[in-house]
Amino acid sequence: MNRRRQLLGAAGALTAAVAAASVSRAALAALPEPVLQTRPDTMPPLEPATGRPYRPVVTLNGWTLPWRMRDGVKEFHLVAEPVVREMAPGFKAHLWGYNGQSPGPTIEVVEGDRVRLYVTNRLGELTSIHWHGQRLPNGMDGVTGLTQPGIPPGKTFVYEFVARRPGTFMYHPHADEMVQMAMGMMGFWVTHPKEPHPLIEEVDRDFCFLLASYDIDPGSYTPKVMTMLDFNLWAWNSRIFPGIDPLVVRHMDKVRIRVGNLTMTNHPIHLHGHEFTVTGTDGGPTPPGSRWPEVTADVAVGQMRQLEFLADEEGDWAFHCHKSHHTMNAMGHGVPTMIGVDHSGVAGRIMRLIPDYMVMGERGMKDMTEMEMALPDNTAPMMAGQGPFGAVGMGGMFSVVKVRRDQKPGNYSDPGWFAHPPGTVAYEYNGATPDPARPAAATSQGSMPAAAPPAVEVQIRKPGGGHGSHH
């Protein structure tokens, strides 16, 4: 007990001196023990054991960082380090992240909390953390060179501030950002209101995830950090469909989904079967007069959006980015469009030369989702996912909101596929199909002009160039 007290005292002194000194053995002993998590599953929400109560968020395919209360301060320990992230079953990426994962764990606090964050750098280069959207003392803003020196490899810095306003935030490095964010360094932050807030509704389920993009060649593990536009993996919390868990809710739940964008392009996030309103941004809750129903909300670069809806329609509702190239995985680019090209006879001839040759995409690209294709060892199929009716044919930023009448409150486990009531699924028509009535243009002398319209003579007057135009 006494020894513990001494250690805590030593740590307090060190905190005051902050980062300049190297972290001594005694100080390390007094840091909150870093908690690591490497499983890619969606972890249950972290119910607060200390401090003010709140309804905790669920981080899609992620988790929330436990804290320690010390002298009324919520203490967290983030460790910046290389991680192996399973982006989808059978596909692992070598990323950088925090505490064993990319993205890092979600930080969850209450408005008015004093927060102390220890950040240990286990990377090979300087880093820092910027607390996107927070009100804080300038020196805690985490911009390397501007508000602090970078955290050298092996060192620990301390950030401390009061979470002054409730809302949706994120954290990411402000040091060698192009590389560190391309490698997956980012995390979510939620500050709950300390008392009922006129603009912040109580919800039954509260999900959060970050949009990220990577460029990883099929068969390799490490993102190409110089890529600016042509990414081949579009991820939610560094997972790609079919690796993204469903968002499971109970029928008639009020649902909030918080989305932050740390890619280099915008993402129109689209929900099927319901209308939502945007109730908040990274700037705070939006006033009621600015809210209108949507089924797609564009989340621009560096922005966060809170989408809220009443889950009043049972079913398995697709939820995805509406850019069609963002619901595909690696290999989506650089493949020629072959729709309508007749390959008959060609494949056989080529296969005599290249035994593994396969014709792709002559009826569209969906064929590829059903093909048993030999893929390189470490990559994800371009479009995949098995649904109850066959291949879903999606990848990337795609998931499913599962609304179920019999889902227990607080239960997030996957209920399986929706059992559609009889007579409510699109079905095949088996009657006669008469030929469509087309206008008989080319063959008759009807009203459609058969020949090209007569040429029109145009007079052009050039500035300063005499009159008109001729011959």
> Which span sits near Cu ion by CB under 5 A: 48-56, 87-95, 148-156, 261-269?
261-269
Are 118 and 158 contacting, i.e. CB atoms less than 8 angstroms apart?
yes
Least distance CB 234 / Cu ion (angstroms): 6
Least distance CB 190 / Cu ion (angstroms): 23
> Which span sits near Cu ion by CB under 5 A: 42-50, 78-86, 325-333, 411-419?
325-333
Interacting residues with Cu ion between 8 and 37 (CB under 5 A):
none
Nearer to Cu ion, 60 or 321 (CB): 321
Buried-state track 275-295, b at ≥16 Cβ within 10 A, e below 16 = ebbbbbbbeebbeeeebeebe
| Residues that contact Cu ion, how many (by CB under 5 A) | 4
Partners of 171 in the β-ladder: 131, 187
Amino acid at 38: T
Tokens found for residue 386: 């098995």
Least distance CB 212 / Cu ion (angstroms): 11
Nearer to Cu ion, 52 or 323 (CB): 323
Give residue 90's region: left, alpha or beta (phi > 0; psi -120 to 50).
left
Nearer to Cu ion, 210 or 321 (CB): 321
Least distance CB 391 / Cu ion (angstroms): 21
Amino acid at 374: A
Are 204 and 161 contacting, i.e. CB atoms less than 8 angstroms apart?
no
- Select the residue interacting with Cu ion from 52, 114, 323, 338 (CB under 5 A): 323
Nearer to Cu ion, 123 or 299 (CB): 299
Least distance CB 395 / Cu ion (angstroms): 12
Nearer to Cu ion, 44 or 302 (CB): 302
- Give the per-residue contact string, 326-365, with Cu ion (x = CB under 5 A; - = no): x---------------------------------------
> Which span sits near Cu ion by CB under 5 A: 191-199, 264-272, 277-285, 338-346?
264-272
Q: Which residue has the tokens 């070598």?
A: 94
Are 327 and 369 contacting, i.e. CB atoms less than 8 angstroms apart?
no
HSE at residue 275, side-chain half, CA atoms within 13 A, is 5
Least distance CB 89 / Cu ion (angstroms): 22
> Which span sits near Cu ion by CB under 5 A: 19-27, 28-36, 217-225, 267-275?
267-275
DSSP 367-432: HHHH------SS---SSEEEETTEEEEE-BSEEEEEEETTPPTT--S---S--PPTT-S-----S-
| Beta-strand relationship, 247-250 and 398-404 | parallel
Peptide bond into 388 cis (omega under 30): no
> Which span sits near Cu ion by CB under 5 A: 23-31, 106-114, 244-252, 323-331?
323-331
Least distance CB 323 / Cu ion (angstroms): 4
Residue 251 is classified by DSSP as T
Q: Which residue has the tokens 């979600």?
A: 106
Least distance CB 266 / Cu ion (angstroms): 7
Tokens found for residue 34: 């870093």
Nearer to Cu ion, 130 or 326 (CB): 326
Least distance CB 466 / Cu ion (angstroms): 55
Nearer to Cu ion, 203 or 235 (CB): 235
Distance (Å, whole) CA 432 – CA 284: 57
Asked if 267 touches Cu ion (CB under 5 A), the answer is yes
> Which span sits near Cu ion by CB under 5 A: 147-155, 187-195, 266-274, 423-431?
266-274
Interacting residues with Cu ion between 72 and 101 (CB under 5 A):
none
CA 63 to chain CA centroid, Å, is 14
Q: How many CB atoms lie within 10 A of CB 174?
A: 23
> Which span sits near Cu ion by CB under 5 A: 170-178, 318-326, 328-336, 455-463?
318-326
> Which span sits near Cu ion by CB under 5 A: 23-31, 159-167, 313-321, 379-387?
313-321
Nearer to Cu ion, 267 or 404 (CB): 267
Asked if 321 touches Cu ion (CB under 5 A), the answer is yes
> Which span sits near Cu ion by CB under 5 A: 12-20, 41-49, 320-328, 329-337?
320-328
Tokens found for residue 439: 């206008």
Nearer to Cu ion, 115 or 383 (CB): 383
Amino acid at 122: R
Least distance CB 156 / Cu ion (angstroms): 36
Least distance CB 298 / Cu ion (angstroms): 9
Least distance CB 396 / Cu ion (angstroms): 8
Asked if 325 touches Cu ion (CB under 5 A), the answer is no
Tokens found for residue 26: 């005694």
Tokens found for residue 354: 């290249």
Tokens found for residue 96: 């950088």
Helix or strand (DSSP H, E) at 28: helix 25-30
Tokens found for residue 400: 């499913």
Give the residue among 118, 123, 121 at the shortest CA–CA distance from 107: 118
Nearer to Cu ion, 68 or 323 (CB): 323
Binding site for Cu ion (CB under 5 A): 267, 321, 323, 326
